[in-house]
Structure 1
Amino acid sequence: MSWTAQARNGRLLIVDDAMENIQILNHVLGEEHEVLFALNGEKALELAHQHRPDLILLDALMPGMDGYEVCAALHASSELQDIPIIFVTALTNPEDETRALEAGAVDFITKPFNVAVVRARVRTHLTLKRQSDTLRELTLTDSLTGVANRRCFNDAIDHEWRRCLRSGAPLSVVMIDIDHFKLYNDAYGHQAGDTCLKEVARAMVHCAGRSPDLVARYGGEEFIILLPQVGAEGAETVAQRLLANIAELAIPHRMSPAGNAVTVSLGVATVQPSDSSSAEALVRAADQALYQAKESGRNRYRIARDGLALAQE
């Protein structure tokens, strides 16, 4: 089986201080799945953050950081807490199994390994993980445009705020509103309006193409772009690119006072996260800058600096 097919079947992280146990599990699972391994808890957490495995097989008893501590650390991380964990251990007492499940494991496999049991349980929990991921994606995606929805944006900005606060990196948002969209719907109909929203959303995704960037439908014809670790200059570049890309779409809008084609107005805000500021204030600043862009003629952007929206063409 190819590496690509193995990755599609699920990425596993095997954590055990005994190399012979890792070799046995790799022999059992490596033909069907992509397998990573760690010999201690610290390395396991490092690999989990780097590679985001779909399932972790974790030895309970290891020197230093044991499996229960690793499990607790994984569940304490907002990025890793949804990864299912199967404890793999020589312990056989019911109390040990109970402790593993109470620590957050989804299953418990005893040594020596029963090959059929290992394969079956891994497949079962990978299937459950895929189903859970699909359901989560559906709840966080705007059904019309395919971009993130407002709930997803709220979760993402909270996460990125904390991360930028720790790293000292800037955080930017761009608030976007399609100009005179009600007039567009009145003139062309709601079906055409839906198509317009989809095309504009695709143009936004193209402009914010880094993996950390997030495009979300904020409500109606309003969108927002989250730009982690992007300063004011980079956010302005995204705004400029977006105006140009929307113009290139050349979607006719004969009723628009802003021009003969669909245009957008944008508000840009950047902040260095700190304990004295908040993600909510950043979004409000972008919204105020958007309001000034609309008030000054639309089809343009405004940048919020120090609480004030300064004119930018």
Structure 2
Amino acid sequence: MKSIKPTVLIVDDTRLNIKIMTDILGDSYNLFCATSGRQALEIVTSQKIDLILLDVIMPGMDGYEVCTRLKKDHQTQNIPVIFISALTNVADETKGLEVGAIDYIFKPVSPPILKARVRNHIELKNCRDMFEKQSLIDGLTGVANRHYFDQAFHQEWRRALRNNNPLSIVFLDIDFFKKYNDHYGHLAGDECLRKVGNSLKDSLQRAGDLVARYGGEEFIIVLPVTSQSEAVKVGEKVRRNIKALMVTHQTSEVSDYVTVSVGVATVVPNNDMTSASLIAKADEALYQAKKKGRNLVAVAEL
């Protein structure tokens, strides 16, 4: 399998400096380039950036201000920033580190030094990302946990609001799961939850879709840039796939096998809405699915 190159953003108002760094790093990284602080901030909100090489002296918004804004934004605060600067005194280097940069390289850049620093900091970031990801996974089911969901959903809400795109939520609950636990025991209940979690992961096809364990036997799916009709199709797919597992459930009142009830809600966010309102609508739809007989998909009325 071909490995995916890390992505580096080079920010410098002098195009010659950008070309020099591009020539040094181009074979090993996917590169984005910006000639102003404002352009850099636009790129980091629309692209997945692994590391930023940032000039200090730029017209309009200097590198210190850019770094300060990056570190104040939850979406970008964990991106490593390396200052690349002709300012070589201790005070300037200290200021760069104080505003949140992870390193400081003097101009003119040395190709071996630049390569080594970028490589080392990306390796450190990969380690941090791995440990963070492990802390955000539900230990029983292997899907995202509630904390991860809260972070990811907040980001997707902001992105949908900014881009005027639809955002959908699929909320589901295993039918009569308490009866399942009471009849088969908690070890069997845990295995049932694992099978449902794996089925949900296998049912999603897009990289941006997210499934999380919301709590107990409840799961939630975030579907960015997804219309209501498309979200309903996803809801029906996961409902069918879970029933197709044919996990015996003798105490269920709707089927001989484990089933789920599903609620779907879709909005195009605006400034008068809150992200919590979308979850509440999906929860209302889930309640309606249960009220109408369970093992079905209900859609929120907006």
Give TM-score, length-normalised by structure 1: 0.84
3-state SS of the aligned residue for 1:176? strand
Contact 1:19 1:39 in 2 (8 A): no
Displacement of 1:205 after TM fit? 2.6
Deviations 1:36-85 (A, max 9, x none): 15251255445444542321122222345542343244335443331101
Equivalent residues of 1:11, 1:54 under 8 A apart: yes
Same amino acid, percent of matched pairs:
48
Is the aligned partner of 1:238 residue 2:234? yes
1:294 aligned residue:
290
- Aligned pairs for 1:212-251 (under 5 A) are 212-251=208-247
User: Where does the alignment leave 5 or more consecutive residues of structure 1 unmatched?
Assistant: 307-313
**Equivalent position of 1:257 in the other structure:** 253
What is the alpha-carbon distance in structure 2 between the residues aligned to residue 303 and residue 178 of structure 1?
17
Deviates more, 1:126-135 or 1:183-192: 183-192
Q: d(CA) in 2 for partners of 1:181 and 1:6?
A: 41
Superimposed CA distance per residue, residues 145-191 of structure 1 (whole angstroms, 9 cap, x where no aligned partner): 22111112222222222332333333221211111222323343433
Backbone CA RMSD of aligned residues: 2.7
Q: Deviations over 1:78-110 (max 9, x none)?
A: 433311010011111112112212332111111
Partner amino acid, structure 2, of 1:192: A
Q: Does the CA-based 8 Å contact 1:14-1:35 persist in structure 2?
A: no
Deviations 1:245-280 (CA, angstroms, capped at 9, x unpaired): 122222222222211111001122223323333222
Aligned counterpart in structure 2 of residue 40 of structure 1, from 29, 35, 39: 35
Structure 1 residues 245-254 or 159-168, which shifts more? 159-168
- Establish whether residue 202 from structure 1 lines up as the match of residue 198 from structure 2: yes
CA distance in 2, matches of 1:155, 1:6: 24
- Measured in 2, the distance between the counterparts of 1:142 and 1:271 equals 27
Matches within 5 A, 1:1-313: 4-5=2-3, 7=5, 10-26=6-22, 28-30=24-26, 33-38=28-33, 40-41=35-36, 42-63=38-59, 65-306=61-302
When residues 229 and 22 of structure 1 are mapped into structure 2, their CA distance, relative to the original with a 3 A threshold, is closer
Q: Kindly state the Cα deviation for residue 113 of structure 1 after the two structures are TM-superposed.
A: 3.1
1:309 alignment partner in structure 2: none
Change (3 A) 1:169 1:24: closer
Amino acid at match of 1:262: V
Q: Is the 8 A contact 2:7 2:32 kept in 1?
A: no
Change (3 A) 1:74 1:237: same
The unaligned stretches of length 5 or more in structure 2 are none
SS in 2 for 1:212: coil
Q: Which amino acid aligns with 2:245?
A: L
SS of aligned partner of 1:53: coil
